[in-house]
Structure formats: structure tokens, C-alpha cells
Amino acid sequence: MDVVIWSRIQFAMTAAYHWLFVPLTLGLALVMAVMETLYVVKKDPFWKKAAQFWIKLFAINFAVGIATGIILEFEFGTNWSNYSWMVGDMFGAPLAIEGILAFFMEATFFAVMFFGWEKVSPKFHLTSTWLTGIGATISAYWILVANGWMQNPVGTTFNPDTVRSEMASAAAFWEVISNPVAVSKFCHAVTSGWVTGGIFVVGVSAWYLLKNRHSEFARKSMLVGAIVGLVGSGAVMLTGDSSGVHAAEFQPMKLAAAEGLQDGGNGAAFTIVPGIKVPKMLSILATHDANGFVPGINDILNGYTDNDGNVVPSVAEKMALGREALDALAVYRGSDEPAVKALAREVIDANVQYIGYGHLSAPEDVIPPVGVVFWSFRFMIGFGMLIALVLLLVLIAVWKDKLGAWKWLLWAAIICIPLAYITGQCGWIVAEVGRQPWTIQGLLPVNVAISSLSAAAVKTTFFVFLAVFALFLAIEIRIMVRAIGKGPEVEPSQNI
């Protein structure tokens, strides 16, 4: 178990570090593309210089993000080799497409965008800027297709001859890439990146105003950033709704943990904080029905009947069925008798959906750390709403020319930059810690997915990565701060 725990800690640290760079990449990509579009449309050099400044910060963030993403993918082979073997056909395909198609696309057009200002026409350069952002967004889609499959393993066929989950047909591939969990996670992650990029632009611009520097640049950047962030905030709420519905359908234990719901029922209340509840709201969010049934932790452990009238077995029953499948798999692979193999195959096929439960030691193993998931969910919602409010007030202040009088709002915008990162991290804690103990929901628990490594080896690499990541982060922050301190090289706008 030490190997399992340390492998999880190392992967969590790497993933959390990588996610420091992804949302800002997605958000700044939209901001800089909008500004360059204004330059091409208005023929105003001001917007060109403004776009160049944000592109510079985008490039710094983009470079470090690439390095951390590569390390993250390597860890599937080093620390989670059993996982890679068992589900490599399913999981590897989206990542391969991401590398071949999306990453190649964004890397190619990034070069034109960053170095080609005076070498290509303004329209071609604008196209390159948009395609860089689109490439980053497509890259996020394929990665989240892979992650969404881990949350809801559709299109998979278990092959007892290879002991692997495989795609049996082209239809299965389309089922994987159109997985509703993947689609909603993609939309939620990308639009949350718009919020991060928007509040980052607003916060940096607020700092310029407090320092009485680059006032016109700051005000106009705040306007673009606030609009991008508010659009993202609205989209995050909509996609968050679909994420809740999918969690209720495919990962009810995650939803129960996020709510700290021990005993479910019809017309379940939503807990804002312990002691404060909104009647029936959880049922509305989870089922879009005020009287819909939402199972709690105890319901999932003991078995229940869902809203469609289907009887969901208890965890103990699923464990028994999973062990039947594992025993039949051992018989299938150990026998040369066609009749024996055929009978074992029938048992495997009948119970394969529970095969992961056969590796659990006790029913309580399916309960994630409730306190961590519960409070992460609330911090995510609370900080997200606060950021949306600040963005709205900034938009009003810019519109009414009140930024000079509302200095408290400028400080609030700066404070919201780290809050945006905390919000994003909390969202991933809910998504990933909330599905424990599974690497693949219902099919493969973490204790089976790890590599044959010693705990000491994993600890060593963890602290090495921690030191390297801390150094990279310090360097990246220093470079960003110096670039921001230098400021944009803009002239007054010709079209105010």
C-alpha cells in the first residue's frame, strides 16, 4: 500500500503542477486572439502592441506547461504500467491523436504567431494566432477524452485472452470520443480556463492602474479580460450542471461524497455548508427533478433502486460477482479444454462490469475521502462565484469610468488571480479524488494499476520531481513578473 499511496501522491503532484499552466494557456489564447482581431479590423497599432504583450506572457506559460505535460504522460508507463497494459488500447489512442494532430498544430502555428509579425501578412498572422489557441483547445479535448473514459469507460470490450480492455470496432472509437462525460469535462475545463485567463488579464491590468502606468492599455485590457471571463463564468455554470447530472448517473459515490450525503432519498437538499441547506436543490441539480432520488453513501453500499426503476446491487454483491469473474478468468486462461473455456467465458461476460470490485478488500473501499471532496467542492463553487462577481463589477466600473474611484476593486481583482488557480485545483480534486479507489471507474482499482516498484524508488522520484517543479515554478514566476514589470510597449490608441 505504500507504493500505491506514494504513486498516487506523485501523480497528483505532477497533475496539479501541470494544471497551473493549462487554464492560463486556454484563457490567454482567447484574449490575445480577440485583441489581434481588433487590430486587424480597426487597423489600430495599439491593439497590435496589446496583443504582443499578452502573447509574450502566453509563450512563457506555454513553454513550462509543455515540459510538465510530458512528464505526466511518462508516469503512466513508469508508475502505472499495469494500467497502461490493461487499458493501453483505449487510453493511448486519444493521447496519440493529441500528440500527432493537436500538439503538432499548435506548435507549428505558435512559431508563426510568436516570430512572424513582420514576416507574414496581418491576416495570416491573425489566423496563426487563432489556430494556436484552437490547437491548444483541441489538445485539451483529446486529453479529456482519455480522462473522461477513465470516469465513464464506454466503448470498451474486455478480452480475456490478452487481459486488456480493447476497442472492438470503429463504432467503439466514436463512442469513446463522444462520451458525454468527456464532452462535459472538456467544455467545463476550457471555459474555466477562459475565467482564469480573464481574471489574470484583469488583475495584471489592475496592478498597472494602481501604479499609474499604462492606463489606457490597462483599461482596455480589463474590458476584454472581463468580457472573456464573464462569458467563461456563464459557460462554467452551464457545463457544471451537466457534470453534476453525469456524476449522478455514472459516479453516484462521487456526488454523495461531494455532498457529504450519508443517506439519500427523494427531494434531496443541497448543503451549502454544514447546517445550511437548500431543500430539494440537490435532486434538481442531479436529476433535473425536484423529487428525483439521489443515493447517499449508505444507499450505494447497501444497494438501491434508481430513478429508472433499476435495482443497483450492493457493493458486497458487486464484489462477489467480480470475484466470480476473476475466478472464471483464471480458469479460462489455465485450461485447454474448449468446453471449459466456453463456460468460463460465459461467466466472465456476464460479470465483467463488476470485475474491478473483485479486487477490493471491503465494501468501504469504494468511499473516497469525503471531507476532502466535500470542502473542495465548496471552495470551487464559492471562489468561482466570487471571481464572477469581481469580473462583473470590473465590467461595470470600466463602462462607468469608476476604476479610479473603486481602488478596492482593483485590489480584489489582483487577489482573485491566485483564487482562480485554487478554484481550478479544487475542481480537479473533486473530479479525481472523488472517483477513488478507481483508476478506471468500476473496472480497475488503483492497487491493481500500479507498477512493480519499491516505495523507496517512488519516494525518491517524488522528491526529485518536487524540487525540479519548484525550481521551474520559481523561474516561470520570475520571468512573468519581470515581463509584467517591464510592461507593454504601446502607443495611445487612434480609435478610442
Q: Tell me if residue 162 falls in helix, strand or coil.
A: coil
| More reliable by pLDDT, 247 or 107 | 247
For residue 492, pLDDT beyond 70: no
Output 256-260 pairs: Cβ under 8 A, ≥24 positions apart: 256/294, 256/295, 256/296, 256/297, 256/299, 256/300, 257/297, 257/367, 257/368, 257/369, 257/370, 257/373, 257/374, 257/434, 258/373, 258/374, 258/377, 258/430, 258/434, 259/374, 259/377, 260/370, 260/371, 260/374
The pTM of this model reads 0.92
* Average pLDDT rounded to a whole number, residues 444-469: 91
Question: How far apart are alpha carbons 285 and 248 in whole angstroms?
Answer: 9
Could you tell me the sign of the dihedral formed by the alpha carbons of 256, 259, 265, 267, in that order?
negative
Q: What separation in angstroms does the CA of 268 have from each of 288, 291, 302, 327?
A: 12, 8, 18, 40
Work out the mean pLDDT of the chain and round it to a whole number. 92
Residue with C-alpha cell 494500467?
83
Cα 185–chain centre separation: 7
**Percent of the chain scored above 70 by pLDDT?**
98
pLDDT at 304: 94
pLDDT band at 172 (very low <50, low <70, confident <90, very high): confident
Read off the pLDDT of each residue in 67-74 and give the average, rounded to a whole number. 79
Model pLDDT for residues 268-290, shown as the tens digit of each residue: 999 999 989 999 999 999 999 99
The region that residue 295 occupies, defined by phi over 0 for left and psi between -120 and 50 for alpha, beta otherwise, is: beta
* pLDDT-wise least confident of 17-21, 279-283, 313-317: 17-21
Q: Is 263 helix (H, G, I), strand (E, B) or coil?
A: coil
pLDDT band at 494 (very low <50, low <70, confident <90, very high): very low
Lowest mean pLDDT among 156-160, 265-269, 361-365: 156-160
Which letter does DSSP use for residue 485 in this model?
H
- Helix runs in 291-406, H state only: 297-302, 315-334, 338-351, 370-399
**Would the pLDDT of 495 be above 60?**
no
Nearest to 298 by CA among 337, 339, 257: 257
Judge contact between 31 and 55, C-beta under 8 A. no
What is the 8-class DSSP label of residue 295? -
Give the total residue count for the chain: 496
Task: Say if CB 176 and CB 155 are below 8 A apart.
Answer: yes
pLDDT for 490 equals 65
| Alpha-helix residue ranges (DSSP H) falling in 355-369 | none
Show the cell assigned to 84. Answer: 497502461
